[in-house]
Structure 1
């Protein structure tokens, strides 16, 4: 080849080819990692992370990680994804339809990265602040056509042989909802018979040590839908995500390593209800769990990878509101001291059963638990404006009705199917802080993915949520492709291979 070829433009062409090949090889030949943490903030995208930082007045640990990527989330059959399809993408590396867990759209069963890690001899832990049979945790051990097959998912939990489950409870262990056609008896008994201890007491949880065997830890208080209470409502009697993560590390650490998935599941639920403070508190709780993993990473920097992502954004959270223009007042959010759920459960239900309850009776509660003021100085950002008081009065009247038409478009836009008074309170408080919402459902905006540790660099860039599973496969020392489970003794042919 002529020396002239290496001059000018040709030299740069060769240089870029070299860089591309080097980068590709470095990704394909990623070092096998002994300890892998995957943190998933359900409903957590850029706005949720930034709102939490503004609330705290400092950086979240997850936002300081050296590798920062942006991840698309769409499902196989819908642009705006659901948690089941998103969990399948993150766990198995494939796109599937809304509501499906661990299977392809045509029903073929796909192995998850957690199942692959277990086959590699690693210990596996699954942690979530929602029920352990919910879509995201189930995506790592279950394979069902519909996410509401809670009984089937619980049975598959027992058969997973994973080492540690912790967080919320199980929603339908007796198949009362008749979502399964293969009832095999009490799922809790099946779990125990599979060698698991079921722990529902915090003191017993704290006494757990390595060598205790397989365990399912369920928080003593399940606030709603078999989930842990929101972080803002938790007390010392509850088991936090950070405590669950710390205990999982203690129990699972071994010479073969571990894979631990931790989900902050109620970020999503709070955003569905447009309760920014509750969502922020649960985002902070997830970051506290990440700190536990980070401390472990500092002790094992050459063997550990931490990845943080979200399955989708929820609520269309916007940092900026027309009513405050360029101003924000995040400090006023500290005046809220309970979740929308607790306010509804403890106060609204009492209102609805009392015929004598008036709006004047509600006003002190709104001020006490959310900080909104009905009288005071005009320059107080918490002072309610006349039109906001009218909104609250109308919402209270709607709350006291027993026949709300949630299918009415105008009513849905105002309240989203939640208690009218409660959601109006959080809307007003959020708007005063400079926060807006566009939806009571998920949105399709990309989510941030952050990483630190071994191979963290491969999580930089812009990629799909299925790529996260593929990248973790590389870190497990596994060729990234779709791995199907054997069915009736016959291996199902691969439909994709990256």
Structure 2
């Protein structure tokens, strides 16, 4: 394809667009904003980190297949009356990270990957959560990952780098927001900071927050508790909640944190709550479809809490669900299955890749004392992933073929040999992506048997779905950029829709 051809194509498309806009009398001249007199009193924004249409489709196909049905059994966001498509590129690349995407949504400006609350020139901007707070609304930030991670941080912090976790965590204390819940903090003591500010938890307590951990302490909270930071007792990796597939009865779900937030935030002036399903993204980075679907279900259950609340306040509530980007390049379709899919094969998986790496393999190493034997690993693989080493592979999709067993043996040897996971060797990276070789090989083979494929261990640049229900929901239909979400939310809240620099306030 020549440059001349591309130029001619661009000129033709531009002319067609201009003609379309003229014929439509300016209907598409800008993003749709809300102009209604009645403003929502209660506003929910749910962000599925890494949630693209493939993740949504894979989950819905699996739910239908598990009931013996063809087609999709829809999640709540798919049933909402207003549906939109949102582009996600950052200021520097077609493929955004969560910091740039979160900043675009929260502050309305494009930035470089890793920027929090700043534009591409590192100029700081306000986010609409703080604007909602200025209007008298209470504000809640909930996430299944650490509360100083990129997406939640974009709604209360400003930082030139998403990795400045210590500095970001201290901005929880100065935010004045009413409810933070979910995961913990990555660097509360500033061990990775060049200029530690003191323990972040102490700063948060000093700002008047009650910092609690565990279900019993969460349940004690009432609207009279004041400002709150609430966490799960168990934060097994990255100070995040466990993957939903690995939940124990003692773990607090994203839905429970959302429900408690509704209880604590409800007041005559209303509230804004952002809820992130952060580990959908983490699972997709590791190409673990079943862990991702498990966290998507947990995310859906959190959305259900908002829908339950909306039924009590149908004329005062707006719920918007979106993704910040797609992760993993997931496809519903794989070369090895051609036009077929076998979604229920996924149900043989009982743990996430992370639990298998951190618990199952760790226990195996401890018990075998260095005498690693793949034959001993076979029943462990079958128990945790449902993959079988004997039987008719042509008749039973869960039976491993010879070349798949060979792949697992190679991965097992690499895992047991203590091979550096994040190898600089391109071939090794393509195979394992920086994860435990055996764990990621198992999820990939299982996914392929189900008819799912992956193209990357990173994000992709494809648009994501946005869905809305409730008062002003029509504002969120159409095809638009993620920066337009900021404008749409501002218009819904009755705030000026142009991005606002902090210097201007």
User: How does the TM-score come out when normalised to structure 1?
Assistant: 0.92
Distance in structure 2 (CA, Å) of the matches to 1:223 and 1:313? 24
* Alignment match, 2:7: none
SS at match of 1:271: helix
- What is the CA distance between 1:59 and its match in structure 2? 1.0
1:29–1:474: 8 Å Cα contact kept in structure 2? no
- What is the CA distance between 1:455 and its match in structure 2? 1.0
Task: String of CA shifts for 1:298-317, please: whole Å, max 9, x gaps.
Answer: 11111110000001000000
Distance in structure 1 (CA, Å) of the matches to 2:454 and 2:404? 17
Q: Gaps spanning 5+ residues in structure 2: where?
A: 1-20, 65-72
User: CA 1:280/1:402 → structure 2, altered by over 3 Å: closer, same or farther?
Assistant: same
Alignment of 1:223-234 (within 5 A): 223-234=236-247
Of residues 387, 403, 407, the one that matches 1:387 is 403
1:52–1:280: 8 Å Cα contact kept in structure 2? yes
Distance in structure 2 (CA, Å) of the matches to 1:302 and 1:69? 22
Distance in structure 2 (CA, Å) of the matches to 1:25 and 1:279? 32
Alignment of 1:292-311 (within 5 A): 292-311=305-324
1:30–1:455: 8 Å Cα contact kept in structure 2? no
* Alignment match, 1:41: 48
Alignment of 1:84-103 (within 5 A): 84-103=99-118
Distance in structure 1 (CA, Å) of the matches to 2:408 and 2:271? 51
Distance in structure 1 (CA, Å) of the matches to 2:151 and 2:272? 15
* Alignment match, 1:142: 157
Distance in structure 2 (CA, Å) of the matches to 1:472 and 1:24? 12
- What is the CA distance between 1:371 and its match in structure 2? 0.2
1:31–1:477: 8 Å Cα contact kept in structure 2? no
Q: Which runs of 4+ in 1 moved over 6 A?
A: 21-26
Indicate the larger mover: 121-130 or 101-110.
101-110
User: CA 1:30/1:144 → structure 2, altered by over 3 Å: closer, same or farther?
Assistant: farther
Distance in structure 1 (CA, Å) of the matches to 2:377 and 2:32? 64
**Is 1:465 matched up with 2:482?**
yes
2:372–2:416: 8 Å Cα contact kept in structure 1? no
**Is 1:252 matched up with 2:269?**
no
SS at match of 1:445: coil
1:131–1:169: 8 Å Cα contact kept in structure 2? yes
1:69–1:449: 8 Å Cα contact kept in structure 2? yes
Distance in structure 2 (CA, Å) of the matches to 1:33 and 1:192? 32
1:351–1:400: 8 Å Cα contact kept in structure 2? no
Distance in structure 1 (CA, Å) of the matches to 2:92 and 2:406? 42
* Alignment match, 2:6: none
Distance in structure 2 (CA, Å) of the matches to 1:31 and 1:82? 35
* Alignment match, 1:345: 358
* Alignment match, 2:296: 283
Distance in structure 1 (CA, Å) of the matches to 2:230 and 2:190? 21
Distance in structure 2 (CA, Å) of the matches to 1:348 and 1:420? 11
SS at match of 1:463: strand
Task: String of CA shifts for 1:250-309, please: whole Å, max 9, x gaps.
Answer: 110011000000000000000000000000010111010001100111111111100000
Distance in structure 2 (CA, Å) of the matches to 1:273 and 1:467? 30
**Is 1:318 matched up with 2:335?**
no
Alignment of 1:79-118 (within 5 A): 79-118=94-133
- What is the CA distance between 1:106 and its match in structure 2? 1.8
Distance in structure 1 (CA, Å) of the matches to 2:402 and 2:295? 32
* Alignment match, 1:271: 284
* Alignment match, 1:9: none
Task: String of CA shifts for 1:26-50, please: whole Å, max 9, x gaps.
Answer: 7445742111000000000100111
* Alignment match, 2:457: 440
SS at match of 2:27: helix
* Alignment match, 1:396: 412
Q: Gaps spanning 5+ residues in structure 1: where?
A: 1-12, 493-498
Distance in structure 2 (CA, Å) of the matches to 1:242 and 1:21? 37
User: How does the TM-score come out when normalised to structure 2?
Assistant: 0.91
Alignment of 1:67-216 (within 5 A): 67-178=82-193, 180-181=194-195, 183-216=196-229
Task: String of CA shifts for 1:445-478, please: whole Å, max 9, x gaps.
Answer: 1000000011111111100001111100001101
* Alignment match, 2:344: 331
* Alignment match, 1:411: 428
Distance in structure 2 (CA, Å) of the matches to 1:427 and 1:223? 23
Distance in structure 1 (CA, Å) of the matches to 2:24 and 2:332? 40
- What is the CA distance between 1:330 and its match in structure 2? 0.8
SS at match of 2:336: helix
Distance in structure 1 (CA, Å) of the matches to 2:151 and 2:216? 27
Distance in structure 1 (CA, Å) of the matches to 2:190 and 2:485? 34
